[in-house]
């Protein structure tokens, strides 16, 4: 198992797209057998967080989880929903003699820095530059999703992608979206999306790819259904935070290809 997959396997995504890890799951991966020992590591990580003047509650969120005992009795135990930064602090305070701890330190340090750089970069970009950057991420994400879909038994990629669009766009297919945007048959709908709409689709793509792999989907019907259901969940998340539905977002006047060409000239 690769370094990434060890920690990605226990990564969770909430309804608004925020990632988190459960402390008790991380404890098992980091090869701690007793919660009390691992709790000491968490407490030291909390001190590091406070000393860095970073909000403790945003990084370490206390939750209660049911735990089934040996006699079958269920009791609620303390757990934490951890941010990526919290996981980084925990690995920094964990037993350095464990090989998996060293792997965790590297993984969370690199990924945390990547996220910081991406957020800083996007914050300073114009809308056109954001569109270009996220469009490239969507393109790469779709390449990976296509490979995963084929490995999951998909033969008709057009139907597979339409399943995702239907879930995210309240029943609209790619052709329906193109007609609504008044595009001709040669124009790619993704090139006529703003940064927010592209980001909605990028989240759909990434989460579908992860779920197909995680659930080991091996037939076309289930793969299409998975894509639809994941996309529908993304839509519900947008609704919960009172965001704008993707079909209600404005269509940019210029395609991303046109913007790219102007930059080259």
Q: For each of the chain's 265 residues, which pLDDT tens digit applies? A: 444 568 888 988 876 677 899 999 999 999 999 999 999 999 999 998 898 788 888 899 999 888 776 677 788 899 999 998 899 899 989 998 898 988 888 778 766 665 655 566 667 788 888 899 889 989 999 999 999 999 999 999 999 999 999 999 999 999 999 999 999 988 999 999 999 999 899 989 988 988 898 889 999 999 999 999 999 988 988 887 788 999 999 999 999 988 877 665 4
What does the alpha-carbon distance between residue 231 and residue 180 come to, in Å, rounded to a whole number?
A: 19
Residues in Cβ contact with 221 at an 8 Å cutoff, skipping those fewer than 6 apart:
none
State the pLDDT at residue 1: 43
The pLDDT, as a whole number, for residue 221 is 97
Please state, in angstroms and rounded to a whole number, the distance separating the CA atoms of residues 86 and 50: 11
pTM flag (> 0.85): no
CA–CA dist 239, 246 (Å, integer): 10
Separation between Cα atoms, residue 25 and residue 97, nearest integer Å: 20
Q: Judge contact between 100 and 74, C-beta under 8 A.
A: no
Q: What's the pLDDT score for residue 191?
A: 96
Q: CA of 42: how far to CAs of 4, 36, 59, 236, in Å?
A: 22, 10, 11, 34
Domain boundaries along the sequence of the chain: 3-107, 127-260
pLDDT value of residue 96: 85
What residues contact residue 180 under an 8 Å CB cut-off, 6+ apart? 172, 247
CA dihedral sign, ordered 106, 110, 113, 115: negative
């Amino acid at each position: 198992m690769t370094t990434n997959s060890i920690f990605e396997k226990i990564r969770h995504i909430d309804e608004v797209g925020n990632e988190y890890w459960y402390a008790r799951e991380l404890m098992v991966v980091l090869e701690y057998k007793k919660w009390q020992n691992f709790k000491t590591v968490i407490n030291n990580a909390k001190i590091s967080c406070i000393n860095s003047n970073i909000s403790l509650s945003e990084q370490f969120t206390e939750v209660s989880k049911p735990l089934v005992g040996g006699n079958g009795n269920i009791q609620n135990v303390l757990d934490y929903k951890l941010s990526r930064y919290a996981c980084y602090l925990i690995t920094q305070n964990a037993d350095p003699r464990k090989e998996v701890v060293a792997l965790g330190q590297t993984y969370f340090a690199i990924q945390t820095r990547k996220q910081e750089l991406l957020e800083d970069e996007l914050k300073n970009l114009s809308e056109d530059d954001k569109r270009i950057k996220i469009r490239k991420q969507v393109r790469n994400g779709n390449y990976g999703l296509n490979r995963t879909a084929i490995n999951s038994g998909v033969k008709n990629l057009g139907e597979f992608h339409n399943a995702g669009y239907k879930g995210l766009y309240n029943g609209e297919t790619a052709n329906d979206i193109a007609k609504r945007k008044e595009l001709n048959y040669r124009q790619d709908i993704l090139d006529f999306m703003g940064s927010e709409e592209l980001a909605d689709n990028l989240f759909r793509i990434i989460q579908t790819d992860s779920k197909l792999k995680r659930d080991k989907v091996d037939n076309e019907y289930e793969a299409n259904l998975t894509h639809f259901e994941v996309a529908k969940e993304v839509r519900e998340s947008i609704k919960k935070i009172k965001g704008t539905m993707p079909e209600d977002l404005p269509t940019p006047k210029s395609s991303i290809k046109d913007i790219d060409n102007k930059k080259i000239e």
